[in-house]
Each structure stands twice: as structure tokens, then as C-alpha cells.
Amino acid sequence: MTTQTHHQLLPNQTLSAQQLEQFDRDGYLFFPSAFSPTEMKVLLDEVPKLYAENRPEIVREKDGKTPRTSFAAHTYNEAFAKLGQHPRLIEPAKQLFGEDVYMHQFKINGKQAFDGDVWQWHQDYGTWQRDDGMPQARAMNVALFLDEVNEFNGPLLFIPGSHKKGVLQAGHDVSTTSYPLWTLDNEKIAELVAQGGIVAPKGPPGSMLLFHGCLVHGSPSNMSPWNRVIVYLSLCAVSNHITQFNRPDYIAHRRFNPIASLPNDCLTRTDIPGLPFPGYEATAKAA
Ligand code: SIN
Ligand code: MN
């Protein structure tokens, strides 16, 4: 059974004491319609253009065609660069860590109608620690729904409270999907679900989710006729930057520059540039 608690940010884009308490207890917070339809159109209009490109940053499903995830669009696309510096996404993370944050990873997950494949049960910090040498679980995801997420199109599934268990034992699954992941076994999932249950936050485009780096999550395949595109910012406390560079730079970034938030209305303003993203100034000049 899912009971959704609906939240709003405080006027300065921060979390209330009650929200901080709930995040600590459950490991996530849900904000339906945090972004307006006008703001969402700015982002949504860019997605087909991005997916049409033939870049190494775009990982396809096992069929070799359907876009599964597109990395690092904040480094080359104006609208997504602004999103990567948006106060509604950045300020709560800064508040939770009590310091500046940098972008560890930025991805747009396709989960396309009919063809979007499963994301197995996992913890993101499990990967950040094992593959990237991130010292502590002082990094988190902020997700924004670009499409409506409903019970049919492969919603994210969370096990509330599972972040309290720290880093759980995991196996490196390189075969189930086209993207390798450190995944948890069924026995452990059954045990965690017996304690915390499962929730699947659902809502219109523009809904936002904050979740802890150790929160156990996954998502089923999308056999509906509706796309389920979600953008994820993985924000890391600047003092907690990664120490190993095993994965490509476009998957685990190596520029630890603090992100300064742009104005709250940046997405719909043409006088505010998003690019170059902090840390990419020299790359932008060279391009
Ligand atoms: C993820 O956990 O990294 C992706 C899950 C999803 O987009 O469904
Ligand atoms: Mn994940």
C-alpha cells in the first residue's frame, strides 16, 4: 500500500524541519508538480534531439536502439545545464549535507514505451563507493519526472528506511540489462521489504524526488504505451569527492567545482546562460 505524502519546498528552496525528519526516517521526499508545465516544456522539447544524437554518452537498451540512459547532457545542452544549477534541485542537497555540492553524475533515463527495461534492486552509493572510491554516503539523487509516472510505465520502487542499513552486500550484474549494476539478492530484498514495505511515488511531469544514496530502489520494465523519462542529478558534497577514476568521465565526473544556484525562474529566461557548467569553462572555450 502506498500513501504518498506531498511536499512543497520553503520559499528559499529549502526543507522544513518536518521534511528533514521525514527524509531521515524514510530516505526520500516527494514533491509532486514542483516544476510548472511551462518549465517542463523547455526540457521535454530537448529530449528527442538528445536521443537522436549518436554520442557515446547515450547507452541503448539490449536491442541496441532504444535509448536507456543519456549521461552528462548538462555539459553540452543549454536547458539541462540550467537544470543542473537549479535552486529547487541544488539547495535541498546543500542543506542536507551542510556544504556545497558538485555534480557526480547527470543522467536522463528513457524507460521508453514498450521497450524500457528493468533497473534491478540496488543502492547508488554501493556503486559510487565500489567503482568510484567515494569516501562516504554524502551524495544523493534528485530526480525530476519529465513524463507522468504512473503504476504502468515502470515507476521507481523504493524500500522506505532501507538507507539506514548502510552499504549492503551486492553482486556485479553485467548481464541482465545493457548497463552493469551492483545489485542486491532476492533474500535481502524480501527481508528489507518485510520491514519497510515498497512505495512507488507517482505524479505528473514536473514532480521531484529526493533520495538518499543508500536507499534501496529499482524499477520494473515499461510495457505500457507511455514513455517514462526521468532526469537524475547525483549531487555529492564537495569534500566527499571521488578518489578512483575507473568509469568514463561522462559517467562519474572528475570536476568537483561547487554548483552555485541560478535564479528560480532560470529555465524560462533567455537572459540567463546555463553553459558552460561549473568546471567545464576551459572545455567550452576549446570546443
Ligand atoms: C537508477 O536507479 O539509476 C534508475 C532507475 C530508473 O530510472 O528507473
Ligand atoms: Mn539508482
**Of 232, 216, 237, 206, nearest in space to 8 by CA:** 206
Protein residue with least CA distance to atom 8, ligand 1: 219
Q: Whose CA is nearest to atom 7 of ligand 1?
A: 109
Q: 108-154, pLDDT tens digit by residue?
A: 999 999 999 999 999 999 999 999 999 999 999 999 999 999 999 99
Task: State residue 6's pLDDT score.
Answer: 79
The sign of the torsion formed by the CA atoms of 85, 91, 92, 96 equals positive
* Distance between Cα 120 and ligand 2 center (Å): 9
- Which of ligand 1's atoms lies nearest the C-alpha of 109? 7
For residue 63, how many C-alpha atoms fall within 13 Å in the half-sphere facing its CB? Answer: 9
Burial (CB < 10 A; 0-12, 13-18, 19+), residue 32, is middle
Determine whether the shortest distance from the Cβ of 149 to ligand 1 is under 6 A.
no
Residue nearest to atom 2 of ligand 1 (CA): 218
Among 156, 211, 224, which residue has the most ligand 1 atoms within 8 Å of its CB, making it the best to mutate? 156
Helices 17-26 and 87-97, packing angle to 10 deg = 80
* Alpha carbon of 272 to ligand 1 centroid (Å): 30
Residue 215 has pLDDT above 50, yes or no: yes
C-alpha distances out from residue 101 to 106, 168, 239, Å: 13, 25, 8
Q: How far apart are the C-alpha atoms of 140 and 87, rounded to whole Å?
A: 15
Calculate how far, in angstroms, residue 7's C-alpha sits from the geometric centre of ligand 2: 22
pTM over 0.95: yes
Mean residue pLDDT of the chain comes to 96
pLDDT, residue 244, reads 98
pLDDT of residue 283: 80
